[in-house]
């Protein structure tokens, strides 16, 4: 596996928000790096072998669409809104499927999961979260690793066994966070594309203060469309 795990004690970071109970430090660190650092080198990154890998990617499987929408309360804290989050997930999935298809990818959502696939995905998710954490800290965040910035090389190990069950040759992971606030709105969105060997071939992360709203489909579609512009179309 090609990733580094950061052992820094982020519990020392003081954030007065009830959202920690829902998102944990993962979501909070994203916000901190965007608000304080402004350290995003570029909107998207590609694996060193991307030009070769993308030729093998035509039928991606949308494995995970995670969207969390929180509302700022009168006291200043944040509360997760499950109703908005559910709508946001549906909008994000629809937008991802539509934009990938516009770019001529034969993408399909993961709908029915057999017990073995569920076990495999349960084992895969922690690995992907660890990779995302490393990317946030060492590529986009305030603890840059020059080698990781120069050579964006991350992997989860072979995904062929899972993908073969769905006649797919790549995986797509999506994450979105939106803070609803009149004075300090915040949207963060990530799209990851992995090839069948488990290489993180293409990764995009975009942060916005008020331009996008994950509660609105047109806004989500525009966000996804903007982020996927650099991804080569097929055919």
Record the pTM. 0.81
**The predicted structure's pLDDT at residue 32:** 41
One digit per residue, the tens of pLDDT, for the chain of length 235 reads 333 323 232 222 223 333 333 344 344 444 444 443 444 444 799 999 999 999 999 999 999 999 999 999 887 789 999 999 999 999 999 999 999 999 999 999 998 889 999 999 999 999 999 998 888 878 877 766 677 778 899 999 999 999 999 999 999 999 999 999 988 899 999 999 999 999 999 999 998 888 999 999 999 999 999 999 999 999 8
Q: Which two tokens stand for residue 218?
A: 């047109």
CA distance 85 to 66: 9
Q: CA 32, 131, 195 angle in degrees (round to 5)?
A: 130
DSSP-derived 3-state class of residue 105:
coil
**The predicted structure's pLDDT at residue 76:** 75
User: Mind giving me the DSSP string for 130-190?
Assistant: HHHHHHIIIIISSS--HHHHHS---B----HHHHHTTT-SEEEEEEEEEEE-SSS-EEEEE
């Amino acid at each position: 596996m090609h990733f580094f795990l950061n052992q820094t004690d982020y519990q020392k970071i003081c954030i007065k928000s009830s959202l920690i109970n829902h998102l944990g430090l993962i979501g909070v660190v994203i916000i901190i790096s965007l608000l304080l650092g402004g350290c995003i080198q570029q909107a998207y990154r590609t694996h060193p072998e991307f030009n070769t890998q993308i030729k093998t990617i035509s039928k991606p499987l949308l494995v995970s669409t995670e969207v969390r929408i929180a509302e700022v309360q009168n006291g200043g804290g944040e509360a997760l809104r499950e109703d908005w989050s559910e709508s946001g997930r549906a909008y994000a999935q629809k937008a991802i499927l539509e934009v990938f298809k516009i770019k001529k990818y034969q993408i399909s959502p993961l709908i029915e999961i057999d017990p073995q696939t569920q076990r495999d995905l349960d084992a895969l998710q922690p690995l992907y979260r660890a990779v995302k954490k490393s990317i946030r800290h060492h590529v986009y965040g305030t603890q840059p690793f020059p080698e990781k910035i120069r050579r964006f090389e991350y992997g989860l190990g072979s995904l062929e066994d899972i993908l073969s069950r769905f006649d797919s040759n790549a995986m797509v992971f999506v994450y979105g966070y939106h803070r609803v606030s009149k004075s300090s709105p915040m949207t963060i969105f990530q799209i990851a594309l992995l090839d069948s060997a488990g290489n993180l071939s293409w990764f995009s992360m975009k942060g916005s203060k008020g331009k996008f709203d994950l509660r609105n489909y047109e806004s989500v579609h525009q966000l996804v469309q903007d982020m996927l512009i650099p991804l080569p179309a097929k055919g």
